[in-house]
Structure 1
Amino acid sequence: MFYKIMKIFVTLYYRVTHKITVIGEENVPKEGPVLLAANHKSLHDPPVVGISVKREMSFFAKSELFENKIFGAAIRNLNAIPVNRGKGDRAALKTSIEALKEGRMLLMFPEGTRNKTGKNELAPLQEGASFIAMSAKAPIVPVAIRGSYKGKDGVTIIFGQPIYTKQLREEGYKRKDITKILENNLNNLLNGPLHLDKTDNL
């Protein structure tokens, strides 16, 4: 309930303050485990991706944010998973895999950090997202965040076709192969033509 209430307020906020266009939300499976893998431009990315899909979403948040008991409790109720950045956080990996196995949707930024160039470009991807998705037998939906939160043209959120890791693994694909497929798909979404025939404006 808390998630749904907060989503209403966050959606209203972004409708007033930003221009956000959503393309391809129908590509997100309506049920079952899903890992959303997005490029990372801004601190606005998690809430904007969250309000661009109908389903509830889990996401990683740096462990320092949970030190304040009130704020920590709030973001836990928003499905945040604490992670120690810069370390091999086994607990976060285990929690995220379990979340997917429970049929939840998880947002990750496989670049590992924000790309602050302001351009529609992608840093080399880490393999964590592929590892988690393969471990949970979950499809990966690439999510491209194009444009700028400050520009008059606004930001476009593009959901690509799912990458079905279970089938690829059965065909012999390794983690690095799926990471490369994801990287190619994200680059295509970031730099390809915009299909504006199926869009929603927040």
Structure 2
Amino acid sequence: MVNPVLRGYFRGRIYGAEHMPKSGPVLVVANHASDFDPPIVSSCVRRPVSYMAKQELFKVPVLASAIRAYGAYPVQRGGSARGAIRAALQQLEQGWAVGVFLQGTRTPDGRISDPKLGAAMIAAKAQVPMVPVSLWGTHRILPRGAMFPKPWPVTVRIGPPIAPPSSSKDKVALQAVTNYCCDRIHALHDLGR
């Protein structure tokens, strides 16, 4: 359902899909500017991607079953990062591709100004590669006050996998890999449409 909307309504372009491993655990690391980003990323990498979602969403009957089927797993808002990391590691152990937005929240322009170390820590603990993904244009799909999504062109670029840090305890290495992921995503984003 997402692919026809992405390619038709949003005139989506996808580059670098060949970089995504077809199977096995992998961390998909992306920028984030829209609620549309998780299904768009999953559609573009051509395999299901499991995302953490706030626990409250799992209390909405129809939505709960839909997001569970899509691979979402609950995390407590304001809870410990340790719980979120543990949940992501469980998904990776089951062979999922796990999606992490590098800033942890949406940004107004798709740029990452404050990348968090969580993705690098998860990759280090699980020893799985990180695949950088840039979403361009999604911040304009649903502008403030709009009732319906706008047919703004969207471009998704997928970069080559990045090796995980060797240790989850080495903060310097975690920061270096996080910065490298951020730089790769920005370089892809700067290519624009």
Shorter-normalised TM-score: what interval? 0.7 to 0.9
Cα distance in 2 for partners of 1:16, 1:152 equals 9
Alignment of 1:46 onto 2:38: yes
Name the counterpart of 2:111. 121
Name the counterpart of 2:55. 63
Name the counterpart of 1:90. 82
Contact 1:98–1:136 (CA<8 Å) still a contact in 2? no
- Cα RMSD (Å) of the superposition? 2.2
SS state at 1:59 partner? strand
- How much has 1:186 moved relative to structure 2? 1.3
Name the counterpart of 1:5. none
Contact 2:136–2:192 (CA<8 Å) still a contact in 1? no
- How much has 1:15 moved relative to structure 2? 3.7
Cα distance in 2 for partners of 1:152, 1:75 equals 24
- How much has 1:147 moved relative to structure 2? 2.3
Cα distance in 2 for partners of 1:134, 1:57 equals 19
Contact 1:36–1:141 (CA<8 Å) still a contact in 2? yes
Q: Tell me the amino acid that sits aligned with residue 68 of structure 1.
A: V
Give the TM-score, by structure 2 length. 0.84
Name the counterpart of 1:164. 163
Name the counterpart of 1:184. 183
Q: Tell me the amino acid that sits aligned with residue 187 of structure 1.
A: H
Q: Tell me the amino acid that sits aligned with residue 23 of structure 1.
A: Y
Contact 1:120–1:191 (CA<8 Å) still a contact in 2? no
Alpha carbons of structure 1 residues 152 and 74: separation in structure 2 relative to 1, 3 Å: closer
Q: Tell me the amino acid that sits aligned with residue 144 of structure 1.
A: S
- How much has 1:73 moved relative to structure 2? 2.1
Cα distance in 1 for partners of 2:77, 2:27 equals 19
> Matched residue pairs, number?
181
Cα distance in 1 for partners of 2:87, 2:192 equals 37
Q: Tell me the amino acid that sits aligned with residue 6 of structure 2.
A: Y
After superposition, the C-alpha distances for 1:77-132 in whole angstroms (9 at most, x for unaligned) are 1100112233314333212112112321011101111111xx35222200011111
After superposition, the C-alpha distances for 1:32-79 in whole angstroms (9 at most, x for unaligned) are 211111000111101111111222211111111111233212211110
Give the TM-score, by structure 1 length. 0.80
Cα distance in 1 for partners of 2:74, 2:7 equals 28
Cα distance in 2 for partners of 1:19, 1:192 equals 17
Contact 2:100–2:119 (CA<8 Å) still a contact in 1? yes
Cα distance in 1 for partners of 2:43, 2:53 equals 17
Contact 2:137–2:153 (CA<8 Å) still a contact in 1? yes
Identity fraction in percent = 33
Alpha carbons of structure 1 residues 191 and 81: separation in structure 2 relative to 1, 3 Å: same
Cα distance in 1 for partners of 2:26, 2:152 equals 29
